[in-house]
Amino acid sequence: MRRWLLAWLLMGPTLCLAAGTEYWLSPAGDDAGPGTKARPFATLERARDALRESRGASAAAPAVVHLLPGVYPRGKSFELTAKDGGAVTYRAEGEVILRAGKTIPAASLLPVSDPQVLARLDAAARGQLREIDLRVAGLRNVRQFPDHFSGGGGLCELYWNGRRLPLSRWPNGADATIEQVLERGDDKSRTGHGGVFVAREDRVARWNVGAGVWVEGYWRVPWAPSVLRVSAIDPAKRAITLAVPIGGGIGSKYAKKPALGDGKEPWWAVNLLEEIDQPGEWCVDFEAKKLYLWPPSAAAGATLSVADMESPMVVAQGASRIVFEGVAFEQGLGDGIDIRGGEDVLVAGCVFRSLGGNGVVVRGGVRNGVRSSDFHDLGEGGILLSGGDRARLTPCGNFAENNHLHHLGIRKKTYAAGIQVGAYGAGAAVGCRVTHNYIHDLPHAGVLYGGNDNLFEFNEICRVVLTSADMGAFYTANDWASYGNVIRHNFVHSSPRANAFYMDDGDSGDLIEGNVCHGFSYGPFIGGGHDNVVRHNLVIACERGLHLDARGLPRGYDKDRMLLSGLASVPYRQSPWAERYPSLPGILDRHPEKPFGNRVTANAVVACAEPFHFAKAKELADSYVEGNVAFGLAEAGLKDPAHGDFALRPDSGVFAKIPGFPAIPFAEIGLRRDAYRTTLPQRVFGPATKSAEAVFDSDVDIRRTDDGR
């Protein structure tokens, strides 16, 4: 049975179902019909129910639901359960779109006539703005923003002819910066309000606090943006008072005088009527129950739709042996597909775009995965994987393979990666596989990971950490027990604000081997953890090449609550942990604040400003750092570095100076052609040339071009 199942999954579009059940769907179909190709059903629910009725006890027999081309409107989740599995394929027969957006008739766009509203407008917007009465439109997610939130604040999203429209923002493009912090307003503040800061621009005096003003920023650290309501503005002093305190207060944590910040903290205003100053921008007046929009083109013939459905477009709860093939998911406010448990659920050759949440979330089960699918223009992350039994170290086999993920994190700007495995909301993970994915143009991390025994291999990641800082192409942190993760034969590049392989704040037990990184702040970075192995990597043109520190000593990691509680949450002294990771049972007896057991060996560091950045030798006495060699660009013998080919030539000096250095299989890294991905996208090389904000406000070109690989 298992062999038959494997063959069924691998055959994909060529699957033959001569003895199986078939139903057909069309946007112009009729659920009262028989579901044949000549007289198809109209909805997924009718096809699902027909399968339940027709297959009965023979649910193990294959079945196909054919979706004929067109747009299928969705107003609720399509739900599948354990009784809906058994070799069922939902297959697109052409261009098939599941669309959750609600269409707003052009007649609902009315000219603005209220004198008080007109008086608040930017001069450029007068005569251009249109309004929608939210009470008439029947939208749900237009509630007033909370005083403090991250992400989209629950607000709906607008699409004009399928393109996401930007919520009004000031300033356009680059961020503003704080001139001076007057009051930090931390969470222990007793003033009754949040922080107070001075803006650099007089424009803030125009904003109507009574109608609601919210500002967003990286107030204290460059990885935690949040939105705060403004309670007062002193126009003479340009002083802005925030309504509520936040943890740590405002003002950069890294300033020499933290109480005052450093005058570089980035911030911006959102959802302001006064700041609609270019076509496409919009905002919601929560009190007046009006939506204001500057249409980007003539309304006649245009389509305005609103993403207002918060639930996932598809939920598979305990379902098994189901395939979604070739379908596009768009204009939902939540996630695309949510797979909860079950086994052998496959998402293949699909497209996830214009969603407010994540693309695909895999919550447990076994052998569930995503293959050869595209993800872009998403509010949060691309693929989230979890599963396995961490106490028993039982692998789940869930996977993300051959996917293209880019321009994500539009609403949630941090911790919404291309792929997340066992970390930051993804759930615990043991034995997941992430291979041959192409991830690029993200505001924060490329891959976030945690858990145990997960494999990350043959992925290409570039142009990440575009609008944040202190983050990596691969990033993990704060877990002494996350042993067994393997990051091997990946190519990461063109991300000067990021670290390549970032094992932060005590992370332990990773293998970083045979990777190529180019153009980062740091290459492989070990932040005070244990038993990490970094070997045979090619680190090129980074500000600093290899890094190993002893931060646990001054920070007192032996008393760190997060590290100690994480360790206590797993049976690290018992079987199978004790046998699989033999150094873990005695970790607390070995002064865990010290970086013991790390091995940084036989790495080639090429044309880096500072090749080696290590703690003092006495602090690294229990780690092994040897055989790493710095090279000039010519001596390294790279095949074609100007065009992004960093394979080593046979005459490379690396092979001569580092005995046993392997030939990294550079040509095998990245996307591959298969039954679902017949052409490859044009690859990018080099840092993003647009401003960070422009990257996410611009149209996304999803045309396919064959790059000959």
| pLDDT at residue 214 greater than cutoff 60 | yes
For residue 513, give every residue at least 6 positions away whose Cβ sits within 8 Å of its Cβ, in sequence order, or none: 486, 487, 488, 489, 533, 534, 535, 536, 537
**Rounded distance, CA 12 to CA 89, Å?**
9
| pLDDT at residue 42 greater than cutoff 70 | yes
Q: Each residue of 100-157: pLDDT tens digit?
A: 999 998 888 999 999 999 999 999 999 999 999 998 888 889 999 999 999 999 999 9
| pLDDT at residue 213 greater than cutoff 90 | yes
Question: Tokens at residue 110, please?
Answer: 């009315």
**Rounded distance, CA 549 to CA 529, Å?**
9
Report which residue type is found at 535.
R
The pLDDT of residue 9 is 44
Residue 73 burial (CB < 10 Å; 0-12/13-18/19+)?
Answer: middle
Query: DSSP letters of 406-473?
Result: ES--SSS-SS--SEEESSTTS--BBS-EEES-EEE--SS-SEEE-SBS-EEES-EEES--SS--S-EE
Give 108's Cβ-side CA count (13 Å radius): 20
**pLDDT band of 692, cuts 50, 70, 90:** very low
Domains (range + CATH), the chain: 103-168+274-305 (no CATH), 176-270 (2.40.30)
The pLDDT of residue 374 is 98
Q: Of all helices (H) and strands (E), which one includes residue 564?
A: helix 561-568
Q: Each residue of 497-537: pLDDT tens digit?
A: 999 999 999 999 999 999 999 999 999 999 999 999 999 99
Residue 707, Cβ neighbours under 10 Å: how many?
Answer: 12
Q: Each residue of 392-431: pLDDT tens digit?
A: 999 999 999 999 999 999 999 999 999 999 988 888 999 9
The pLDDT of residue 258 is 61
Residue 180's alpha-carbon distances to 226, 626, 648, in angstroms, are: 19, 47, 50
**pLDDT band of 59, cuts 50, 70, 90:** low
Residue 236, Cβ neighbours under 10 Å: how many?
Answer: 7
For residue 508, give every residue at least 6 positions away whose Cβ sits within 8 Å of its Cβ, in sequence order, or none: 479, 480, 481, 482, 483, 529, 530, 531, 532
What global pTM score does this model have? 0.94
Q: Of all helices (H) and strands (E), which one includes residue 523?
A: strand 516-527
For residue 438, give every residue at least 6 positions away whose Cβ sits within 8 Å of its Cβ, in sequence order, or none: 403, 404, 405, 406, 459, 460, 461, 670, 671, 681, 683
Q: Of all helices (H) and strands (E), which one includes residue 118?
A: helix 115-120
The pLDDT of residue 57 is 58
pLDDT over 70 percentage in the chain: 93
The pLDDT of residue 58 is 58
Question: Tokens at residue 209, please?
Answer: 């606090």
What average pLDDT is seen over the chain? 92
Question: Tokens at residue 626, please?
Answer: 């040897």
The pLDDT of residue 85 is 84
The pLDDT of residue 690 is 42
The pLDDT of residue 698 is 33
Mean pLDDT of 643-665: 97
Report which residue type is found at 516.
V
Q: Each residue of 337-372: pLDDT tens digit?
A: 999 999 999 999 999 999 999 999 999 999 999 999
Residues 263, 179 contacting (CB under 8 angstroms): yes
The pLDDT of residue 685 is 87
* Coil vs helix vs strand at 5: helix
Mean pLDDT of 28-32: 98
Question: Tokens at residue 135, please?
Answer: 């009470």
Mean pLDDT of 174-194: 87
Taken as a whole, the chain contains a residue count of 709
| Least confident residue range of 53-62, 325-334, 376-385, 464-473 | 53-62
Residues 542, 608 contacting (CB under 8 angstroms): yes
Question: Tokens at residue 298, please?
Answer: 């003539």
Annotate 514-552 with b (16+ C-beta within 10 A) or e (fewer). bbbbbbbbbbbbbbbbbbbbbbbbbbbbbebbbbbbbbb
Q: Each residue of 545-574: pLDDT tens digit?
A: 999 999 999 999 999 999 999 999 999 999
What's the farthest any 2 CA atoms get from each other in the chain?
79
Q: Of all helices (H) and strands (E), which one includes residue 260?
A: none
| pLDDT at residue 6 greater than cutoff 90 | no
**Rounded distance, CA 122 to CA 128, Å?**
10
